[in-house]
Amino acid sequence: MGSQWGRDRFYRQARTEGYRSRAAYKLLDIQKRFQVIRDDDNVIDLGCAPGSWLQVLRELTDGQVIGVDLNPVPSIEGVVTLTGDFTTEYMHEKIRSLIGVANVIVCDAAPKLSGNKSYDQARAVGLSEEACDFALDFLKPGGNFVVKTFQGDMFHLILDKMRENFFGVKVYRSKAARKGSTEVYIIGKKFKGHRNDSEG
């Protein structure tokens, strides 16, 4: 496995430039193409371990940057990291006390893979939908949301949800994605506004 990672130019580049993982270049690629983050935005990163997206976010904005993950994340200067489940009411209250609402929410999280393609894809889409629900509660109107998901039979569920809640929605495969991966990012721009309580 080591030789495989060693041949990956993004892996080598991350090591050279000090990023914690090659995933940093996915966010840099998305930002270059879609300009989702402005230099004064407050940003929440869901599923932030090991922290490479937090490193990029800290470079892109002077606003507040908060990362949440089930696993502890080594500290990054100028970034607040929280350990826990972003779907819980406890974590929601914790985040609200720190940031209130955010201009941008990003999520590069993925479930641990079992090897069962349909099961893994269902879990991945479910995680993406949970991240979207979080964004609908924490984004300012006009805010932006970036979420990783995987193409397959259930892909339309998260895509439809995004189209209901953002004025602009694009599906993008990063140039930094590994060959053969079905991984894509959905970019939602200009959040329409907080959902009604009647929607749940």
CATH code of the domain made up of 21-199: 3.40.50.150
Q: What is the mean pLDDT of residues 36-54?
A: 97
**Cα–Cα distance measured from residue 199 to residue 87, given in angstroms and rounded to the nearest whole number:** 17
- State which amino acid sits at residue 193: G
Q: Annotated active-site positions, please?
A: 148
Q: How far apart are the first and last CA of the chain?
A: 45
Distance CA 119, CA 122 (A): 5
- What is the DSSP annotation of 109-137? --PPP-S-HHHHHHHHHHHHHHHHHHHHH
pLDDT at 42 over 70: yes
The pLDDT value given to residue 177: 74
What is this structure's pTM?
Answer: 0.89
Q: What is the rounded CA–CA span in Å between residue 32 and residue 10?
A: 16
Band of pLDDT at residue 16, cut at 50, 70 and 90: low
Q: Is the pLDDT of residue 197 over 50?
A: no
Question: Which amino acid is it at 22?
Answer: R
Q: What is the pLDDT of residue 54?
A: 97
CA distance 48 to 53: 7
Q: What is the pLDDT of residue 112?
A: 79
What is d(CA 80, CA 14) in angstroms, rounded to the nearest whole number? 22
| Closest among 91, 88, 40, 35 to 67, alpha carbons compared | 91
DSSP 149: E
Would you place residue 18 in the very low, low, confident or very high pLDDT band (cuts 50, 70, 90)?
A: low
Share of residues in the chain with pLDDT > 70 (%): 88
Is residue 5 pLDDT above 50, yes or no? no
* pLDDT given at position 2: 41
Mean pLDDT score, 29-48:
97
